[in-house]
Structure 1
Amino acid sequence: MDNDDQPIGRLLTRREMLKLLTMVGAAAAAGCAPRLGGGDAATPAATTGATAAATPTVASEAVPTLTPLAEPIATATAAAAAATAALPACVVRPEQTEGPYFVDEQLNRSDIRPDPADGSVRPGAPLALSFLVSRIAGATCAPLAGAIVDVWHCDAAGVYSGVNDSGFGSTAGQQFLRGYQTTGDGGAAAFTTIYPGWYSGRATHIHFKIRTSDGLEFTSQLYFDDALSDRVHAVEPYAGRGQRDTRNANDGIFRDGGELLTLNVTESGEGYAAVFEIGLQF
């Protein structure tokens, strides 16, 4: 399970573009230049611009109503709204490998913990994760609306859904800890998930991908402070997995810009919350 090193983000094929246009519809952002991320992505940049608060898209598909999920969803939405009101700086983040576990499930939902097939919820410390996506053009910075933000990561035991892997077997047909949201007018997309576990050869991380209607995409990963991961993983359901074998400093992918991709996590109720700001250059 340490082969998380497949090629990074790419331009989409015509078929994939048509599929993405169907997903986004008329709300997608228009008039983008033919580049997203790219060679300059690892260079930090900072400009400011007006940003309006927005409520992220709420999944329309039917998901079993589970009382424990309500508070984290509200926390994620509130965190995104509060951050958009703060006129955040646009910061270019490094692009990183997609990894072998991306599956384009097209699950439009904010709470990605349940498996839609049976409603079962992956156990773990709740994490309210919000994205603030902006567009950097010259000296201006503005929220990027209509972009699709995909999130996927392993569960507390280091297992991904929807794949066949020699390390944990087959999870084909399962869709836990996967989903996407479309950014609103304020560039916000909010998710409720769990703090990820670990697997051999990698630091604790979350994958994400941002796509636009004209076939551009940016792919990267999010990381966590090692001391926080130590505390979270010391209790169930993580503790049974044992002590992780790779910390941030020993992860070759983290060393390629991971410091700029490390979340600022705060405690929130019974779990945690984080807002990740990213500025994309076209």
Structure 2
Amino acid sequence: MAKHQRQDGVSSYEGRPLARPAEEIVDQGLGFDVGTLLSRRRILALVGLGAATAGLSACGSGSSAPSGASASSAVSSAASDVSGEIPEETAGPYPGDGSNGPDVLEQSGVVRGDIRSSFGTATGTAEGVPMVLELTVTDLAGGGAFAGAAVYVWHCDREGRYSMYSAGVTDQNYLRGVQIADAAGAVRFTSVFPACYSGRWPHIHFEVYPDQASITDATKAIATSQVALPKDVCDQVYAQPGYEASTRNLSRVSLAGDNVFGDDGGASQLATVSGGVGDGYTVALAVGVDTTTAAGGGAGGGAPGGRPPGGQPG
């Protein structure tokens, strides 16, 4: 048994004063023994907790994504974590909102959840790895979920083409649609994973309007921004048939060097993703908007660097 030590003139053991300084540690009495036992148990408990946490973290870092209710809960939790107002970004040259040529928002049927197929007189369907996009909109001025907000989403197809603009799909309007936020401020779109075209990091465009009645006037958008897609997920998707050009294009760009996300590495625009190539991915992002501030130039036709194959801006 270890002898007691002197610290600053006081007889102690492991930093605790001894009840009987002249005696051995084993002779300090029941009270001292119980205190020593409890202290050691606390240390062991903390060590055990740390090991358990590390184990859980290791399990969570694997490639397998949660499924069913667990996946939905994880995505919803991530999507509701609003860190501030979403950065205002360019709508690019292919908005389809009337600010640069075609206007899909004037067409009956644009309010829909599944945007994979064209609607109206168009009949085309976009192919690719299944993707569900979940955006949770919060009104920072009001301090709560932005129920009733209208969210317009659009993105390129597997070949990097934008419907209504790019050669070969000017007669299509797929991968464009509007959803109205529910009581929790959430909207959900069923789509396909977009390509990576030359000069841009893989992304999804969206505009937030105060209500459905406002969507026919692009100047009424209260936020225009983009969702950045994580590289590890892009690598998995672009290894699938049909995305061959995306693999090459992705190798030539970086999130930090992108002319939209590069200013902060997409810190508040990088999506949380769950799922896999078999059953598809769920892409989630929290979108904070401030209804008291003016939108910062999201609409317009300026190209945000890089053009998709066959792109023909209006």
Q: TM-score, normalised by structure 1?
A: 0.64
Q: Superposed, which structure 2 residues align to 1:31-180 within 5 Å?
A: 79=72, 83=76, 88-89=81-82, 91-104=84-97, 105-106=104-105, 107-116=110-119, 117=121, 119-137=123-141, 141-163=143-165, 165=166, 169-180=167-178
- CA shift digits 1:117-167 (9 cap, x unpaired): 454421111111111111112xx620111111011111111000001x5xx
CA displacement at 1:186 relative to structure 2: 1.5
Distance, in Å, in 2 between the alignment partners of 1:280 and 1:242 is 34
Match of 1:265 in 2: 273
Q: Which amino acid aligns with 2:204?
A: I
Q: Secondary structure at 1:261's aligned position in 2?
A: coil
> Going by fraction, where is helix more abundant, 1 or 2?
2
Classify 1:173/1:249 alpha carbon distance in 2 versus 1 (closer, same or farther; 3 Å).
Answer: same
Match of 1:249 in 2: 256
Distance, in Å, in 2 between the alignment partners of 1:190 and 1:156 is 20
CA displacement at 1:187 relative to structure 2: 0.7
Q: Which amino acid aligns with 2:176?
A: R
Distance, in Å, in 2 between the alignment partners of 1:227 and 1:86 is 19
Distance, in Å, in 1 between the alignment partners of 2:133 and 2:73 is 9
Contact 2:122–2:172 (Cα < 8 Å) also in 1 = no
Q: Is the radius of gyration larger for structure 1 or structure 2?
A: 2
- CA shift digits 1:200-231 (9 cap, x unpaired): 11111110110114734200111111222122
Distance, in Å, in 2 between the alignment partners of 1:264 and 1:87 is 11
1:193 to 191, 196, 200: 191
- CA shift digits 1:248-268 (9 cap, x unpaired): 222121113422101111115
Match of 1:47 in 2: none
> Going by fraction, where is strand more abundant, 1 or 2?
1
Q: Name structure 2 gaps, 5 residues minimum.
A: 1-67, 98-103, 215-219, 293-314
The two structures, once aligned, show a CA RMSD in angstroms of 2.8
Q: Which amino acid aligns with 2:275?
A: E
1:229 aligns with 2:234: yes
Contact 1:80–1:131 (Cα < 8 Å) also in 2 = no
Contact 1:90–1:134 (Cα < 8 Å) also in 2 = no
Match of 1:56 in 2: none
Q: Which amino acid aligns with 1:127?
A: M
Distance, in Å, in 2 between the alignment partners of 1:82 and 1:231 is 19
